[in-house]
């Protein structure tokens, strides 16, 4: 973790290490199976590796583009910059770039591969709905993600699952055009089916590992923000307000934003069934509020 005043979270650090180790082990086995099958699907893995490198080094720009956000100067958003400046001074950490997304959905996120290469973004809907102390609490939550470096870990972990999906597609089209049939005259299932089955298992395990890590990191960021600002109840108030306002956002806008849920302050969930609601990237709202209430009780009222 970066050396800042955000409290170190050994539970988060250990979970990040375990998640990356298990994912790495999973993909070593994955690559070994594909090589053993003697298929050209290894090309897909090399392609996925290249795409991973691109995403890792450009994750901030990709996220901003997905939200239609723009980096703003101090002159363009003096109040927002002032809040970020104050928090970075309190936390003794490098100041990230500051961006605003023109969206009514009240939300915020941070992304980037390191504290020196990061960006924190808020939507115009968030700026309209929260007062300054609430906004400060939300931004403290987001900055803790940067300080703990869990944003970079989630970027890598999330992409590894997509690599398996890429191999499934590659194997399907290769099999469709005759590039992956049976190995010689040996009996057994077609190689393409084996590749697709293994890839599906890898994707499923990756999905579950990243969801478990994502839920814990949100609780960790809430704790860190409450500690640095000294106002757990303010963060709780922001959570309640933002979650309540989210139900007023058109379903189409929420579904469009769902791919970025793992990075949002609160998830953009539309009514009805979806994988995002079934395997949420965030812990239940009540669990987050209960944790903040315990911190408030242990620390006493803010002065």
**Taking 60 as the threshold, does the pLDDT of residue 274 lie above it?**
no
Is the pLDDT confidence value at 288 over 80? yes
Please write the tens of the pLDDT for every residue from 194-238: 767 777 777 778 778 888 899 999 999 999 999 999 999 999 999
Q: What is the mean pLDDT of residues 163-184?
A: 57
Marked catalytic residue, from 134, 136, 142, 218: 142
pLDDT confidence of residue 206: 78
The whole-number pLDDT of residue 191 equals 64
pLDDT in tens, 238-250: 999 999 998 888 8
Q: Which of 13-22, 238-247, 273-282 holds the top average pLDDT?
A: 238-247
- Give the pLDDT confidence score for residue 303 in this predicted structure: 46
Q: Is 258 a catalytic residue?
A: no
pLDDT, residue 77, reads 96
- The fraction of the chain above a pLDDT of 90, given in percent, is 42
Q: Indicate if the pLDDT at residue 128 is higher than 80.
A: yes
4-18, 110-124, 187-201, 273-287: which range is least confident on average?
187-201
Section 4-27 average pLDDT: 85
Q: Please state the pTM of the whole predicted model.
A: 0.81
> How confident is the prediction for the chain on average, in pLDDT?
82
The reported pLDDT for the residue numbered 255 is 82
**Contact assessment for residue 123 and residue 108, using Cβ atoms and an 8 Å cutoff:** yes
Inform me whether the pLDDT recorded for 172 exceeds 80: no
Helix (H) / strand (E) containing 136: helix 132-148
To the nearest 10°, the Cα dihedral for 194, 199, 201, 207? -170
> What's the rounded Cα separation, in Å, for the pair 17 and 20?
5
Taking a C-beta distance cutoff of 8 angstroms, is the pair 70, 99 a contact? yes
Least confident of 60-64, 73-77, 87-91: 60-64
Q: Give mean pLDDT, residues 64-76.
A: 92
Q: Does the pLDDT at position 252 exceed 60? A: yes
The yes-or-no verdict on residue 30 having pLDDT over 50 is yes
Question: Which comes out higher in pLDDT, residue 24 or 35?
Answer: 24
Q: How is the chain split among helix, strand and coil, in percent rounded to 5?
A: 65, 10, 25
pLDDT of 301 higher than 60: no
Position 257 confidence tier, pLDDT thresholds 50, 70, 90 = confident
The most confident of the ranges 3-7, 32-36, 150-154 is 150-154
- For the CA atoms of 206, 209, 210, 212, the dihedral, rounded to the nearest 10 degrees, stands at 160
Which pLDDT band, with edges at 50, 70 and 90, does 51 fall under? low
């Amino acid at each position: 973790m970066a050396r800042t005043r955000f409290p170190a979270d050994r539970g988060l650090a250990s979970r990040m290490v375990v998640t990356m180790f298990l994912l790495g082990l999973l993909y070593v086995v994955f690559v070994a199976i594909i090589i053993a099958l003697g298929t050209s699907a290894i090309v897909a893995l090399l392609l996925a590796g290249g795409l991973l490198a691109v995403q890792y080094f450009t994750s901030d720009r990709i996220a901003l583009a997905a939200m239609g956000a723009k980096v703003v100067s101090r002159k363009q958003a003096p109040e927002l910059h002032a809040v970020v400046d104050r928090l970075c001074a309190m936390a003794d950490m490098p100041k990230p770039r500051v961006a605003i997304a023109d969206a009514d959905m009240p939300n915020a996120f941070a992304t980037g591969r390191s504290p020196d290469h990061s960006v924190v973004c808020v939507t115009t809907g968030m700026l309209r709905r929260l007062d300054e102390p609430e906004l400060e609490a939300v931004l403290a939550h987001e900055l803790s993600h940067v300080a703990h470096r869990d944003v970079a870990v989630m970027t890598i972990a999330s992409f590894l699952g997509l690599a398996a999906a890429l191999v499934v597609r590659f194997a399907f089209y290769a099999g469709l055009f005759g590039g992956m049939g049976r190995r010689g005259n040996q009996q057994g299932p077609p190689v393409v089916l084996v590749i697709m089955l293994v890839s599906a298992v890898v994707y499923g395990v990756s999905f579950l590992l990243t969801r478990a890590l994502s839920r814990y990191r949100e609780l960790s960021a809430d704790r860190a923000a409450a500690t640095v600002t000294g106002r757990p109840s303010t963060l709780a108030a922001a959570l309640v307000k933002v979650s309540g306002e989210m139900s007023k956002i058109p379903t189409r806008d929420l579904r469009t934003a769902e791919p970025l849920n793992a990075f949002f302050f609160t998830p953009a969930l539309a009514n009805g069934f979806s994988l995002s609601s079934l395997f949420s990237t965030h812990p239940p709202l009540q669990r987050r509020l209960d944790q903040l209430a315990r911190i408030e009780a242990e620390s006493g009222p803010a002065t």
